[in-house]
Amino acid sequence: MPGTTPDDILGRAQSPSIGGRPIRKDEIELDERGIYVESWLPERRSRRKPLLFVHGELGGSWLWERYLGYFAGRGWEGHALNLRNHHWSRTADPAELSFEMYVDDVASVMARLGPGVVVIGHGMGGLLAMKAAERQTLAGLVLVSSEPPGELRLPVHQHELRDIPELYGKALIGWATLPERLQRDCRDLSIPDILRIQHLMGQKPHESGRARRAVLRGIRINREAFNDVPRLVIGGGLDRQVSMETAERLAEWLDGQYEPFAAHSHYGLVVGEAGFQQVADAIRGFLEVNRL
């Protein structure tokens, strides 16, 4: 587009689609942990359960902006945390961070919001949500292209673990390439979507290699923690990080509802301007059926 700058594109992409009721924004800070939670709330309080959104590797509350706007505009309060050393949370030494520390972050926010919260996790955030739910009571669980637990993983080769540096960035997950090349694999994302994701993933490696190695080795999950909790698992057909087959196996293992989206990629399920609402509609239907 003539006269369009990258900043213009990023600015437009960051504006979530908001329909329905008026909303207001707030924040929660857990000073003792250095955790910042971005909150989008309906103008009027409702009896719906609060939603806690948990991002995965290299993410932040920015990942959930479209969802926050969608659900706040329809009566749900939404809270998107930033794990330590991510986005607006306090800077920490990523070499000292671990999967267990991230679980502590999620569990602390769950405790702050209370036992009636519905947790929605993406990628590694889904695995963090499952592990945190072993400690804190929750009302519902939604896993969007979630990393699977150790019970569903094949043994990892040692050379794969050695190849993961102590700190890593978007290059390790294939996001440090040309936007046009990424769009060939993620056909549900626009160029503005891709530019925004690349920008907000950060320019320097800052993610914990220790946490990624723990995920690959296999995080064991107590499935009984979800026996009385409504469960929804979502998978994407264009997902190159967590396959749709893996998502379906996870749903079967959890004995939960499964919703496949064949034309969606890993990030398109959450941030894709053209397709996120289809996924959000499915989650909304799940919440309404289960009176959450």
**Could you report the average pLDDT of every consecutive run of 10 residues in the chain (292 residues)?**
37 42 83 86 89 95 95 95 79 78 94 94 97 94 97 92 93 95 95 95 88 95 92 97 96 97 97 94 98 96
Tell me whether residue 1 is in a domain: no
What's the confidence (pLDDT) of residue 291?
96
Tell me whether residue 14 is in a domain: no
Say how far apart CA 146 and CA 56 lie, in whole Å: 9
What's the confidence (pLDDT) of residue 6?
36
Say how far apart CA 178 and CA 180 lie, in whole Å: 5
The count of structural domains within the chain is 1
Say how far apart CA 193 and CA 153 lie, in whole Å: 31
What's the confidence (pLDDT) of residue 33?
78
What's the confidence (pLDDT) of residue 242?
96
What's the confidence (pLDDT) of residue 31?
76
Tell me whether residue 7 is in a domain: no
CATH code at 190? 3.40.50.1820
Residue with tokens 């695995």: 127
Tokens representing 22 are: 């008026």
What's the confidence (pLDDT) of residue 8?
40
Tokens representing 292 are: 């959450």
What's the confidence (pLDDT) of residue 17?
38
Residues 6+ away with beta carbon under 8 Å from 221 = 127, 130, 131, 134, 149, 150, 151
Say how far apart CA 273 and CA 131 lie, in whole Å: 30
Tokens representing 121 are: 């996790």
Say how far apart CA 106 and CA 104 lie, in whole Å: 6
Q: For residue 80, count CB atoms less than 10 angstroms from its CB and return exposed for 0-12, middle for 13-18, buried for 19 or more.
A: buried
What's the confidence (pLDDT) of residue 89?
67
Owning domain of residue 277: 22-289
What's the confidence (pLDDT) of residue 178?
96
What's the confidence (pLDDT) of residue 108?
94
Tell me whether residue 15 is in a domain: no
Tell me whether residue 8 is in a domain: no
What's the confidence (pLDDT) of residue 23?
81
